[in-house]
């Protein structure tokens, strides 16, 4: 092997010397090569042999009388080459340089290859010693002259070899062209590189670069590129190859291949500005009335004071400040690492959510109780004092078509309290989006989130809820204190917008089973309203254990009932009304028609869970262009495949996250929900956030049996501080910083992430560096950074550190 390693270099040096005769000698050598090729069954001559044959032919012309031995040896070598090619096909233009490869890269060669290589090397060395004696007598001038001729001839040989290789036939399986052999060896290099250390790969690449520079071979750049890619691809695939090129280069179909001048100019100005961005950050603590429970868009006290009315709970709606805060929210005194799921469903640390008012008011209904240093949750609620699981099973016994975890997968729980209903629905493979306002029931949503149950702070007031139309399989209200029947049923009509055609409305409230005058009046009003909305009463049943009644209604699956109504009340919405529009859109007292086209979303019920998770929605058509520029069904499938690979090969094992400690996850920029789908087998739930300025793919996420919400990341999210264990951001920060303050977004990330929680960022390198600088200033632990081709991956862990200096947020002070 040692002799073979330097054979090409020695041949090149001796070849240069032997060519110092005249150009005619080179021509004769080429003629002999042609004669040999005609007598050989190989299409392309082996380069090692070509060089030897040329050398011997030249010596023969120079000293025919004195070197008969050399001439005979040249002809003998031709016969040896024929014999060698019949034995194996492993000799290539790189065969005489096995030192460039790891030893195991040649395991596929035949057993007689090593001995044959040594034989060739020894033969060449003997020949060189004899030829050197004759060549040393030539003048330096003739060496220079023929050196140029030889250089031109080498290039001609390479072009000839490539031409022959392209047109050659190698069906015999016993003989290979130079190109075939080099490709085989490159493949061998790639396979062996994963089993070698990075230091060795670096050395191999460096050695090959040096030889390729001297050799001038056209294939050298490909070898170098392949080896570099092998080096960059680590065994755990922290940043899987092709992850960005496959899917993450989003294309806009609106302007075709041409950008606008406005966009070009804007991008250039932003690029110039980015070079001046600050590299150090000095964080301060938020001085606000809400303290450690601060939610910027719900605690804008200045805006709330200016409201002309609070009749429709306007003061519980979002009122985001024009300039979002860039300070950090304090931790509660005595805060500790949260208790892990599923234990957290039964108890949490008192000092993490130090509020006792709800325990005082609702303790007798088994909502929450104070027990030493814990807050405990017996699993009860106003309508299910004896536990949520009994109540859940009672609903299905009353209406078997509910089919928890199969037909019914994603539900909306309005007025959820501490979300015990949603917390125990996990045992039935059901996801519940629980919502309740930040009201006098102190911290009810915060309790739910601390327990590891999905919930948001929201109210049914004057605007639509931030969800698409026709996405929830069931809407549930257990004594939710919402006046459904007033003002023409405006709030109930919002549920009609959200409920999937054929979906159920489960109403468990006192008007269903009590006979006091107020309840009787509400029941009559509700019955008339629901009948005019064409909702069918499926069952009314009494739960004797809890002493409550449950009424279940079903939304129609066609427009037939609407068309037969004697009065158009509630009225049908105008055709121009977009039922999916939900970001700060005022409520309307009207109903949207049921889709009847079989290719329209909502005309069919989804596949049962879990088949619906990976099933391409029936309403995604090949004629539609997806987010990544392919047809919508293909886009969907590729996104699913992409995130499955990334999560499996990278996130689960390659970035140091203990997933057993992760419960609450947010995908800050979900597209088709592929990231959440890839986490299906873990004991986590994922809040999929679709940005309001991004393609509206949230209906697809719900169709898969997942859930999510619309949001604008230039504003604060409607959740309490310290709500999530892990945040995932895929190319969000680089998009947000083009239109709002990136520092404010990082402060918001700090607000909603728990101490000890993880943030995973995939973005361009420039943005990754900015985010890393900001979180380092917050003394977060950088667990991993990785970059390749201007794309980066960052994984960081939030610390318990809080700033010593504070900043007063004037609009959040009472």
C-alpha neighbours within 13 Å on the C-beta side of residue 350: 14
What was the pLDDT predicted at 258? 57
SS3 state of residue 690: strand
**What residues form DSSP beta bridges with 549?**
542
Q: What strands, in cross-sheet order, belong to the sheet with 347-349?
A: 347-349, 374-376, 369-371
d(CA 295, CA 721): 7
What was the pLDDT predicted at 644? 97
Q: What is the CB neighbour count within 10 angstroms for residue 596?
A: 13
Express the helix, strand and coil content of the chain in percent, nearest 5 each: 45, 15, 40
- What is the block-wise mean pLDDT of the chain (814 residues), using blocks of 10 residues? 37 42 68 68 39 41 42 44 43 34 36 40 44 42 41 43 40 40 43 41 33 40 41 46 43 49 69 59 96 97 96 96 97 97 96 85 75 88 84 96 98 92 96 89 87 96 98 95 94 98 97 95 97 98 92 97 95 96 97 95 97 97 95 97 96 94 98 98 98 97 98 98 98 96 98 98 97 97 95 97 97 96
What was the pLDDT predicted at 202? 35
What was the pLDDT predicted at 381? 75
223, burial (CB in 10 Å: exposed 0-12, middle 13-18, buried 19+): buried
SS3 state of residue 464: coil
Non-local (6+) Cβ contacts of 47 within 8 A are: 92, 93, 161, 178
What was the pLDDT predicted at 124? 45
Here the tokens at position 664 are 């609450």
Task: At 116, give phi and psi (nearest 5°).
Answer: -65, -40
d(CA 19, CA 150): 7
* Exposure b/e, 576-594, CB count within 10 A at least 16 = b: eeebbebeeeebbbbbbeb
Q: What is the CB neighbour count within 10 angstroms for residue 254?
A: 6
To the nearest whole percent, how much of the chain has pLDDT over 90?
Answer: 60
SS3 state of residue 594: coil
d(CA 439, CA 400): 35
H helix or E strand, kind and range, residue 490 = helix 490-498
Cβ distance 424 to 445 under 8 Å?
no
d(CA 433, CA 457): 11
Task: At 759, give phi and psi (nearest 5°).
Answer: -120, 125
Task: At 472, give phi and psi (nearest 5°).
Answer: -95, 135
Here the tokens at position 93 are 């233009």
CA distances from 727 to 16, 109, 214, 785 (A): 64, 50, 51, 16
Here the tokens at position 97 are 């340089």
d(CA 58, CA 24): 9
Cβ distance 785 to 768 under 8 Å?
yes
Cβ distance 791 to 765 under 8 Å?
yes
β-pairing, 753-764 vs 685-691, is unpaired
State the Cα angle at 782 between 777 and 784, rounded to 5°.
150
Render pLDDT for 405-435 as a digit per residue (tens, 0 to 9): 999 999 999 998 889 999 999 999 999 999 9
3-state secondary structure 412-432: EEECCCCCHHHHHHHHHCCEE
Q: What is the CB neighbour count within 10 angstroms for residue 63?
A: 16
**H-helix segments, 19-46:** 23-39
- Tell me the pTM: 0.71
d(CA 682, CA 705): 15
Cβ distance 633 to 667 under 8 Å?
no
Task: At 417, give phi and psi (nearest 5°).
Answer: 65, -130
Non-local (6+) Cβ contacts of 308 within 8 A are: none
Q: What is the CA radius of gyration of the chain?
A: 37
SS3 state of residue 455: strand
């Amino acid at each position: 092997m040692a002799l073979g390693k330097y054979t090409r270099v020695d041949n090149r040096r001796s070849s240069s010397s032997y060519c110092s005769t005249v150009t005619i000698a080179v021509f004769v050598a080429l003629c002999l090569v042609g004669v040999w090729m005609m007598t050989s069954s190989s299409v392309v001559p082996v380069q090692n042999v070509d060089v030897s044959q040329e050398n011997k032919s030249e010596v023969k012309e120079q000293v025919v009388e004195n070197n008969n031995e050399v001439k005979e040896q040249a002809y003998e070598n031709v016969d040896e080459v024929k014999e060698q090619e019949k034995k194996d096909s492993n000799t290539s233009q790189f065969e005489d340089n096995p030192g460039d490869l790891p030893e195991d890269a040649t395991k596929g060669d035949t057993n007689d290859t090593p001995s044959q290589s040594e034989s060739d090397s020894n033969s060449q060395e003997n020949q060189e010693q004899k030829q050197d004696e004759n060549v040393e007598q030539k003048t330096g001038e003739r060496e220079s002259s023929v050196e140029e001729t030889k250089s031109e001839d080498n290039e001609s040989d390479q072009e000839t070899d490539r031409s022959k290789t392209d047109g050659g036939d190698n069906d015999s399986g016993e003989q290979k062209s130079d190109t075939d052999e080099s490709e085989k060896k490159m493949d061998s290099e790639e396979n062996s590189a994963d089993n070698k250390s990075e230091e060795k790969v670096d050395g191999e690449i460096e050695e090959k670069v040096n030889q390729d520079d001297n050799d001038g071979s056209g294939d050298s750049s490909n070898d170098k590129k392949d080896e570099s890619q092998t080096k960059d691809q680590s065994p755990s695939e922290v940043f899987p190859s092709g992850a960005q090129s496959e899917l993450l280069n989003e294309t806009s179909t609106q302007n075709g291949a041409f950008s606008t001048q406005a966009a070009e100019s804007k991008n250039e100005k932003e690029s110039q500005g980015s070079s001046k961005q600050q590299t150090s950050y000095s964080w301060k603590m938020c001085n606000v009335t809400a303290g450690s429970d601060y939610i910027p868009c719900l605690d804008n006290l200045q805006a709330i004071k200016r409201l002309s009315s609070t009749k429709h709970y306007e003061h519980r709606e979002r009122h985001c400040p024009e300039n979002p805060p860039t300070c950090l929210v304090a931790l509660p005194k005595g805060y500790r690492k949260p208790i892990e799921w599923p234990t957290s469903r039964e108890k949490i640390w008192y000092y993490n959510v130090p509020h006792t008012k709800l325990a005082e008011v609702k303790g007798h209904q088994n909502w929450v109780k104070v027990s030493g240093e814990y807050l405990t949750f017996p699993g009860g609620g106003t309508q299910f004092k004896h536990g949520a699981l009994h109540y859940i099973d009672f609903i299905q016994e009353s209406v078997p078509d509910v089919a928890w975890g199969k037909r019914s997968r994603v539900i909306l729980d309005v007025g959820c309290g501490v979300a015990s209903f949603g917390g125990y629905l996990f045992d039935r493979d059901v996801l519940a989006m629980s919502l309740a306002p930040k009201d006098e029931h102190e911290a009810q949503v915060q309790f739910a989130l601390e327990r590891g149950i999905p919930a948001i702070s929201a109210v049914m007031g004057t605007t639509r809820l931030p969800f698409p139309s026709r996405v929830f399989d069931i809407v549930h209200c257990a004594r939710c204190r919402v006046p459904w029947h007033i003002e023409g049923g405006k709030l109930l009509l919002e549920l009609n917008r959200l409920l999937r055609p054929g979906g159920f409305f489960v109403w468990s409230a006192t008007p269903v089973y009590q006979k006091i005058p107020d309840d009787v009046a509400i029941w009559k009003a509700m019955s008339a309203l629901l009948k005019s909305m064409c909702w069918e009463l499926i069952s009314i049943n009494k739960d004797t254990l809890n002493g409550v009644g449950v009424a279940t209604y079903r939304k129609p699956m066609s427009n037939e009932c609407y068309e037969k109504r004697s009065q158009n009340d509630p009225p049908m919405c105008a055709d121009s009304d977009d039922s999916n529009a939900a970001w700060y859109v005022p409520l309307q007292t009207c109903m949207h028609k049921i889709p009847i086209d079989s290719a329209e979303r909502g005309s069919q019920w989804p596949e049962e869970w879990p088949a619906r998770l990976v099933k391409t929605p029936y309403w995604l058509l090949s004629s539609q262009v997806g987010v990544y520029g392919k047809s919508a069904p293909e886009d969907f499938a590729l996104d699913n495949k992409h995130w499955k690979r990334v999560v499996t090969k990278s996130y689960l094992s390659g970035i140091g996250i203990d997933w057993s400690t992760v419960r609450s996850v947010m995908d800050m920029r979900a597209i088709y929900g592929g990231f959440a789908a890839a986490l299906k087998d873990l004991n986590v739930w994922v809040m999929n956030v679709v940005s309001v300025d991004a393609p509206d793919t949230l209906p697809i996420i719900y169709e898969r049996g997942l859930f999510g919400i619309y949001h604008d990341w230039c504003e604060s999210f409607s959740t309490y501080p310290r709500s999530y264990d892990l945040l995932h951001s895929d190319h969000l920060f680089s998009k947000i910083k083009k239109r709002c303050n990136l520092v404010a977004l990082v402060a918001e990330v700090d607000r909603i992430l728990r101490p000890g929680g993880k943030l995973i960022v995939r973005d361009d390198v420039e943005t990754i560096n900015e985010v890393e600088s900001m979180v380092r200033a917050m003394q977060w632990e950088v667990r991993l950074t990785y970059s390749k081709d201007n794309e980066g991956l960052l994984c960081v862990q939030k610390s318990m550190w809080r700033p010593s200096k504070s900043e007063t947020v004037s609009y959040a002070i009472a």
